[in-house]
């Protein structure tokens, strides 16, 4: 049986928590940070209706002065 969206998000969140802890335990600070950002994103995904989420990343929406 195919997992529901909720079950999938919960599984990904659990795996990301484990990965963040593993990265921190080995002092992989930046990697831990990136995994934590992914964890925040998956929690946002759990709260937001999929039809309301941005479909893709659009680099044109970024302010170029901050990212050059």
pLDDT in tens, 12-55: 999 999 999 999 999 999 999 999 999 999 988 888 766 655 54
Mean pLDDT of 50-68: 51
20-30 core/surface letters (b: 16 or more CB in 10 A; e: else) = beebeeeeeee
Helical H runs in the chain?
5-25, 29-47
């Amino acid at each position: 049986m195919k997992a529901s969206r909720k079950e999938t998000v919960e599984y990904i969140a659990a795996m990301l928590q484990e990965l963040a802890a593993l990265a921190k335990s080995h002092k992989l600070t930046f990697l831990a940070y990136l995994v934590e950002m992914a964890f925040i994103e998956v929690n946002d995904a759990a709260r937001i209706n999929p039809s309301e989420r941005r479909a893709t990343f659009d680099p044109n929406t970024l302010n170029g002065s901050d990212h050059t």
